[in-house]
Amino acid sequence: MSTDKAILDAARILRRGGLVAIPTETVYGLAADATNPKAVARIFATKGRPGFNPLICHVPAPEDAARIARISPLADRLITAFWPGPLTLVLPQRPDSPLADLVSAGLPSVGIRMPAHPMALALLRQTGRPLAAPSANRSGAISPTTARHVADDLGKDVDMILDGGPCSLGLESTIIGLPDDGTDRLLLLRPGGITPDQIAEICGIRPEADQSGAITAPGQLLSHYAPRGQLRLDAIRAGDGEFMIGFGAIGGDLNLSPKGDLIEAAAGLFAALRQADDSGASGLAIAPIPDHGLGLAINDRLRRAAAPRPAKSDKGRAAAPRPADSERD
């Protein structure tokens, strides 16, 4: 099959909600249409990813990133210097961003990069949509740097594997957070193919380790995307004043999946929590979710949403909760 035909076929698969393993200069990624909630949910199901940790969104050009996130002058300097390349920037997501909630794990920031691999860029342009693409391996396995690695690990669970040869870098991208607080600070969230020295040379600012305990990147806190009302898990019916989110045969004000489909439930989870928040109910209740397959990730996310809220400091601000582990492949 010619490269051009392979890219056309891959783009068609992605536009209809499929999964395609794609080569980048870092590692092979498991790509899905980042605007399609069910397609993004399939990434978690296929990887066996243990929680709804955020996914990096891949774009073909800086102007495409600007449609998704707010680009500060400092971010623009980094983009000019290092894109396309192995640098992911965690930026404030625009209110009108087209991304599915699962890409950013329901938080207001999103990780974005422009890959340097010509086949990945051609596919992004042909698909016409941003692509969510963590590493194309089972969660916890070694990251793949060839198409054969992907085939050996994921097999027929991926709809197509684009073979672009061995990855030139073979190391995941550097992740830099740019806090949305009006300061010119850079937070090193994951070391990778771009070094702190290279970044400091361009920006005159050396990335610092994030030790604040606050939300500086998606997926860092035990209690994140906490609804305004207290969330009650494993509910059979709503209590007084509660908004009920059902699943399967257990109904409610809305149902994540009347047929008990965990992919459908995952795709609609964050939107359901927002709808419950907007209802004005004093509390939220959610039906039991099976604790297997993608249900493990759903329950992980719900436990975070139901976690005790941070105590207030003597200045009336929420004290920072304990950070939680975050997989960012």
- For tokens 């992911």, what's the residue? 88
Q: How far apart are CA 246 and CA 289, in angstroms?
A: 9
pLDDT of residue 236: 96
The strands making up 242-246's β-sheet, listed across from edge to edge, are 230-232, 283-286, 242-246, 254-255
User: Residue type for 234, please?
Assistant: D
pLDDT of residue 310: 55
- For every residue of 97-146, DSSP letters joined together read ----GGGGTTSSEEEEE----HHHHHHHHHHTS-EE--BSS-TTSPPP-S
Q: Which residue, 206, 157, 190, is CA-closest to 87?
A: 190
170 and 27 Cβ atoms separated by less than 8 Å: yes
User: Residue type for 42, please?
Assistant: R
224 annotated as ligand-binding: no
217 and 111 Cβ atoms separated by less than 8 Å: yes
Q: How far apart are CA 20 and CA 136, in angstroms?
A: 9
Q: What is the pLDDT along the chain (329 residues), one digit of tens a residue?
A: 789 999 999 999 999 999 999 999 999 999 999 999 999 999 999 998 777 788 999 999 999 999 999 999 999 999 999 999 999 999 999 999 999 999 998 888 999 999 999 999 999 999 999 999 999 999 878 889 999 999 999 999 999 999 999 999 888 898 999 988 878 899 988 888 888 899 999 999 999 986 655 444 433 444 444 677 889 999 999 999 999 999 999 999 999 999 999 989 988 887 888 789 889 899 999 999 998 877 877 887 788 778 776 554 443 333 333 323 333 44
Q: In the CATH scheme, what architecture does the domain 3-209 have?
A: Alpha-Beta Complex (3.90)
Q: How far apart are CA 19 and CA 158, in angstroms?
A: 6
112 and 88 Cβ atoms separated by less than 8 Å: yes
292 annotated as ligand-binding: no
Contacts 24+ apart (CB under 8 A), 197-205: 198/82, 199/78, 199/82, 199/174, 202/77, 202/78, 202/81, 202/82, 203/74, 203/77, 203/78, 205/74
190 annotated as ligand-binding: yes
DSSP secondary-structure letter at 277? H
- What's the distance, Cα to Cα, between the start and end of the chain in Å? 30
Give the pair of three-digit tokens for residue 260: 């008990």
Question: Can you say whether the dihedral through the CA atoms of 59, 62, 67, 69 is positive or negative?
Answer: positive
Chain mean position to CA 65: 15
53 annotated as ligand-binding: yes
Sketch the domain layout of the chain as residue ranges: 3-209, 230-306
173 annotated as ligand-binding: yes
Cis peptide before 290 (omega within 30 of 0): no
Q: How far apart are CA 285 and CA 48, in angstroms?
A: 26
49 annotated as ligand-binding: yes
